[in-house]
A and B are shown apart, each in its own frame.
Chain A
Amino acid sequence: GQQVQQSPTSLVLQEGENAELQCNFSTSLNSMQWFYQRPGGSLISVFYNPSGTKQSGRLTSTTVIKERRSSLHISSSQITDSGTYLCAMERTGGYKVVFGSGTRLLVSP
């Protein structure tokens, strides 16, 4: 089965609404990251978050390594937040990073 489960798979919001994206891991991990990808675009690191809570502007990431989960909260969503958000984990014992399938976010006016 998939080692990284993301939910929801897609999300539609009206501008100004908040969003909560979830990531769950089936194996132990050293660290995890959140990436943002525009349609047809490359990936940009949003958070590298081994544990705890990090905030950057309207984005907040909370990772609980022991419980193998992480969340990404987007407050007061904007149209420019639209795109795909992927989480990725670094498995224990190696350099390999495993990605989830992503959450597609659409923010409409």
Chain B
Amino acid sequence: EAAVTQSPRNKVAVTGGKVTLSCNQTNNHNNMYWYRQDTGHGLRLIHYSYGAGSTEKGDIPDGYKASRPSQENFSLILELATPSQTSVYFCASGDRRGDTQYFGPGTRLLVL
């Protein structure tokens, strides 16, 4: 069973502050993804990665950066957090193109 963990699980941030969301997977998957989930929008892809050192823009990358320093870790960075970034963020990993994705437990972010 794929194991994807996220930290923190809950975060309260102030507008203009920097927020880093971390994701770790222990299954040696090449692909990792960051989504946000909002009512009425389903899950939307923010950034993804094919492997260590690579990051690619998803459908809604504005205001977010990503970092993949290793096979296991994938971070999402909000340099200047805004209230519109209040959401639930999910990290996922997958072995190869077209394969199923395994999701982490999610991080609830509130930007005041």
- Using a CB–CB cutoff of 8 Å, the interface residues on chain A facing chain B are 4, 30-31, 33, 35, 41-45, 48, 50, 86, 88, 90, 95-102
List chain A residues, Cβ under 8 A from B92.
43
**When the two chains form their complex, are residues A100 and B101 in contact, meaning their CB atoms are under 8 A apart?**
no
List chain A residues, Cβ under 8 A from B105.
41-42
**When the two chains form their complex, are residues A42 and B41 in contact, meaning their CB atoms are under 8 A apart?**
no
Q: Which residue of A lies closest to B104 (CB)?
A: A42
**When the two chains form their complex, are residues A43 and B48 in contact, meaning their CB atoms are under 8 A apart?**
no
List chain B residues, Cβ under 8 A from A100.
42
Complex Cα gap A41–B105 (Å):
7
List chain B residues, Cβ under 8 A from A48.
99-100
**When the two chains form their complex, are residues B42 and A95 in contact, meaning their CB atoms are under 8 A apart?**
no
Interface mask (B69-112 → A, CB under 8 Å = 1, otherwise 0) = 00000000000000000000010100001111111111000000
